[in-house]
Amino acid sequence: MLSLHQLRCFLATYEHGSLTAAAEELGYAQPSVSEQIRGLEKTLGVSLFRRVGRGVVPTTVADTLRPHAERTIAAAEETRLAAQRVRRLETGTIRFGMFGVARLYAGAGLVADVLARHPGVRVELVGQNSTEVQEDLRRGRLEAAMVAIPNVTSEGMDVIPVARDELVYISADPERLTSPATAARLAKASLVMPDTTYRADDSVRIILRRMLHETGLNPQTRIEVEDPEIAVELVGMGLADSVLPRGAAEQLLPRLAPNAGFVSLRPRQWDYFAIVHRSGATLSPAAQLMIELATARIQAIAEPVR
């Protein structure tokens, strides 16, 4: 079987016109190079050097093959260098999951942070849909992700909470903002809920359900949408109210629903943001970088945990 080692020996021998000199350059003993050349001649079925007393002389076959050998070695070297560049994050792709509302805390800014440190890399921030992120993580297509979670455990996954943010009630009706939203008021409200978290069950919904369950009531979700942006727009149009983490509300309201405002819940509730990856996985430098930067971003807006 053809090997790079043989080609390396071939080129060194060709250039020096001597097995001994080639061996010296490669740091081997002369018989080793001799053996490699013989092996190469055998695998290719051609004679590459004429053994002529003192030294060896390349045949015309060797002349013909040399450029090919050089190209092959160069390609291999390029492969090695590409790996090195990727390892140093000078190039390559960094893929990171970030679902729903989390990207409002650390979306474009996070990408900017990465590019500032590593201008050559490609960044992929995936997460259109919560189940997709979850599936990607489970299947290994995604190494790590920043997500909002309903609870801090998940089988087969390491979930590391990094921040929490208070949930707030959002409405375009000023009357509903005069006092904190209680369970009773939430039960009567008609709500638009975005799908913002990692598990199929949205964390905000779980929290609300728990809150209302204690009062014996059920939440009335009138509208379900995917993006928090759409939910906020609908709130702005007065078609429904909503519940979102405060940071998201502060970011979206001025832009999408300037006539709306928000108040705390009573009792106050928190949504948690966490880093998630497969249990026991050794994280790549790229993933560690993303985790570090995403955590910094989100902790600048929401309240750090631990």
The amino acid that residue 298 corresponds to is I
Structure tokens at 276: 């998630």
CB of 125 to DNA, least distance (A): 24
Residues of this chain that bind DNA (CB under 7 A): 3, 5, 18-21, 23, 27-32, 34-39, 51-56, 138-139, 156
The amino acid that residue 48 corresponds to is L
> Residues for the chain: how many in total?
306
Nearest to 248 by CA among 102, 143, 149: 102
Per partner kind, with CB cut-offs from 5 to 8 A, the member of a second copy, DNA, none near residue 259 is: none
Considering the rule CB under 8 A, would residue 279 count as an interface residue with a second copy?
no
CB of 238 to DNA, least distance (A): 45
Letters for 223-262 (x = contact with a second copy by CB under 8 A, - = none) are ----------------------------------------
User: Out of 68, 117, 255, 268, which residue is the one contacting a second copy (CB under 8 A)?
Assistant: 68
Q: Where are the beta strands (DSSP E) in 53-182?
A: 56-58, 93-98, 122-126, 144-149, 157-171, 181-182
Residue whose CB is less far from DNA, 137 or 294:
137
Residue whose CB is less far from a second copy, 277 or 297:
277
Residue whose CB is less far from a second copy, 124 or 214:
124
Q: In 10 A of CB 175, how many CB atoms?
A: 7
CA 25 – CA 208 distance, rounded (Å) = 73
Are 104 and 256 in contact, with CB atoms under 8 Å apart? no
Considering the rule CB under 8 A, would residue 220 count as an interface residue with a second copy?
no
Q: In 10 A of CB 191, how many CB atoms?
A: 24
Considering only residues 73 through 112, tell me which ones interact with a second copy, judged by CB under 8 A: 74-76, 78-80, 82-84, 86-87, 91-95
